[in-house]
Chain A
Amino acid sequence: MCDTQAPRSCKWFALSHYHRTVHVPDGFIDAPTSVATGVVAAAAVAVSLRGARRELDERTAPLAGLVAAFIFAVQMLNFPVAAGTSGHLLGGALAAILVGPCTGVLVISVVLLMQGILFADGGLTALGVNITCMGIVTVLVAYGLFRGLVKILPRTRRSVTAASFVAALVSVPASALVFTALYAVGGTTDVSIGKVATAMVGVHILIGVGEAAITALTVGAVIAVRPDLVYGARDLRQRLRLRVNGELVDAPAAEPAVPVAARSPRRIWAVGLVTSLVLAGFVSFYASADPDGLEKVAADKGIDEKVEEHAAADSPLADYGVKDVENARLSGGLAGVIGVGVTVVAGTGVFWAVRRRRTAEGADASDASPASTSV
């Protein structure tokens, strides 16, 4: 419906923008957390500024600016769902896949900054929270997942589209989860975190499905016309082969491919692991120190006696604490660290297994039919 009105003026533009993207306002998250997320956001933007130069070299400013304008515009494109309701794109995953993670973070941050200053959309003090949740987390989760999937799946365009679907689908609830975590640390109201998490993730999985479908369709459309523009699918480019005297010969590489991931993946791994460990251990050490207001009130008033225990309540990590560790803070922190460890081991195991199988298959296939890849 809104789509049938042309965005004739910025004012209309701003107003129409509002009722659909809800950004965190001032006063929602307390001052210390806002400052902390502001620092995180500033650091991420600084890193991305460097990274974007690597992705786009000196074309960074005009290209990133135009992509930001694109994200801004495409957020207004309505995708009708049914009976007058419609969805629209948030754009984090799309930006990451199309122009790369660093440029993606930059673009989303600039869009959020301009929305905050110009349209008062999202509080100025909440800028850090907004950039962290909607820019950094969305882009990193989406791009990480996307790269992982593209590596595992067969090298076809269809799998790029599928990977972007999954990446966008997961990125939206992930961002909601991080927001919930921030709210747990610095929320200004005693709403039970469980409730917030359930509501946020539930709603955002729905939003994520829409986001995923739109992102996949858009990536699919770009890849059909200009596959070279899709940053995430650079590996899919076929090598140029020439037919010389009736034989197919690999053309000599024109130039050594620019190592886009100049940093070794091992280092990124290490940094990511250490960050998650610190966050899980240290932050939950403080966050879960006093039980949240509600749990405390519930305990004081004896309301919680009738709370049904979760099925996994007997697991050694139940209630985010390690069973036989007395100190609540320590056990909370420890549980966080163990959780990260288990996740990393499980994730790595799956990736490793799948990848090994694939390389084995690939070797067989290339032995059997050397010409089969020369499409």
Chain B
Amino acid sequence: MGTGHAHKLYRHGHSPVHALPPHTKLAAVFAFVIVVVSTPREAMWAFGLYAVLLAVVACVARVPAGFLLKRLLIEVPFVAFAVLMPFVAEGERVEVLGMSLSLSGLWGAWNVLAKGTLGVAASVLLASTTELRALLLGLQRLKLPPLLVQIASFMIRYGDVITDEMRRMRIARESRGFDARGLRHWGVLGKSAGALFIRSYERGERVHLAMVSRGYAGSMPVIDEVTASRAQWSYALALPFAALVVCLLGWSL
């Protein structure tokens, strides 16, 4: 955690994608994912084109392929699930390599794999080119309720603090010879979780008092209003528009 306030998913850089205002990027990613999800799964080539589009964005943002692929590992649980689908689903059966697989299951697996992967890749690109604080500002700009944005920002701000507190409690447990191995040790861990809750809650109260003493009256002042020019909007929305063209082709072909 020695890298200042940037989160580890963020990859510092000065590319054109990094420079875009956060709310345009958020809007672009949301629109892109919606377009991808509403593409018919039979148009396999369309998903290839989407992947190419994302690759172009990654190129412009100078996010290395290895970095992106490593992040995609996050998807592994869904892949496991998708692999099961052809066996579980019913309907018309096809023989593949001596195994009887369901046709609709195969389509379903393909559907989840393709759309899920593209969604994850788009989110990863967003997170690796946008700073946390900027993301929160962008959400606020996109008219997410301010209270919700505040809660999210407190969660992000104190996430590491609380996680560290948990780590210190674990070190304290272990230095006293505690080794959690089975159900018998759940009592101790439950007490730790309870203590962590009390500490978090009391910290929240202290934070609130500190804020009140600095003039907080229920809403946070907006210090740096982010704005986007028309050129920046069109630059950011190029991705979902290109995807929309592909999607429409996918429906018509």
Contacts and interface: CB of A to CB of B under 8 A. Distances in A.
Interface of A: 3, 6-15, 18-19, 22, 25-28, 31, 34, 45-46, 49, 52-53, 58-70, 72-74, 76-82, 89, 98, 106-107, 109-111, 113-114, 116-121, 123-125, 188-192, 195, 213-214, 216-222, 224-226, 229, 293-294, 297-298
A79 B183 CA distance: 8
Nearest to B71: A120
A63 B74 contact: no
B53 interface: no
A62 B204 contact: yes
Nearest to A6: B167
B85 A31 contact: no
A118 B9 contact: yes
20 contacts: A10-B7, A18-B73, A25-B78, A46-B145, A67-B201, A68-B152, A70-B162, A72-B162, A79-B189, A80-B182, A81-B183, A106-B148, A117-B26, A117-B123, A118-B132, A119-B9, A123-B37, A189-B109, A195-B88, A221-B193
A27 B37 contact: yes
B242 interface: no
Interface string B172-203: 00000000111101110111111111101101
Nearest to A20: B77
B148 A49 contact: yes
Contacts, number: 298
Nearest to A226: B198
Given A27-B116, A123-B116, A3 B148 contact: no
B33 A26 contact: yes
Contacts of B145: 45-46, 49
A119 B76 CA distance: 14
Given A6-B167, A191-B85, A25 B34 contact: no
A194 B211 CA distance: 53
B112 interface: yes
Interface stretch (B13-21, B54-62, B89-97, B222-230): B89-97
Given A31-B37, A65-B155, A222-B198, 12 more contacts: A11-B9, A14-B9, A72-B155, A72-B163, A76-B166, A123-B37, A125-B37, A189-B89, A213-B186, A217-B194, A218-B194, A220-B194
Interface in B102-117: 102, 104-105, 107-109, 111-112, 114-116
A66 B162 contact: yes
A76 B166 CA distance: 10
Interface of B: 1, 7-9, 26, 29-30, 33-34, 36-38, 41, 71, 73-78, 81, 85, 88-92, 102, 104-105, 107-109, 111-112, 114-116, 118-120, 122-124, 126-127, 132, 135, 139, 145, 147-148, 150-163, 165-167, 170, 180-183, 185-187, 189-198, 200-201, 203-205, 207-208, 211, 217-218, 220
Nearest to B161: A69
A66 B158 contact: yes
Contacts of A63: 201, 204-205, 208
A14 B180 CA distance: 23
A120 B70 CA distance: 13
Contact of B196 (A52, A62, A74, A79): A74
A124 B135 contact: no
Contact of B194 (A67, A222, A297): A222
A66 B204 contact: yes
The 4 closest A-B pairs by CB, nearest first: A65-B154, A217-B190, A27-B115, A189-B108
Contacts of A46: 145
Contacts of B181: 80
A63 B85 CA distance: 42
Contacts of A218: 190, 193-194, 197
A44 to B, nearest CB: 12
Given A25-B75, A65-B151, A294-B90, A220 B127 contact: no
Contacts of A213: 186, 190
Given A25-B120, A28-B116, A69 B155 contact: yes
A69 B191 contact: no
A216 B198 CA distance: 15
A80 B172 CA distance: 18
Given A116-B123, A121-B74, A217-B191, A69 B135 contact: no
Contacts of B196: 70, 73-74, 77
Contacts of A217: 186-187, 189-191, 193-194
Contacts of A82: 182-183
Contacts of B180: 3, 78-80
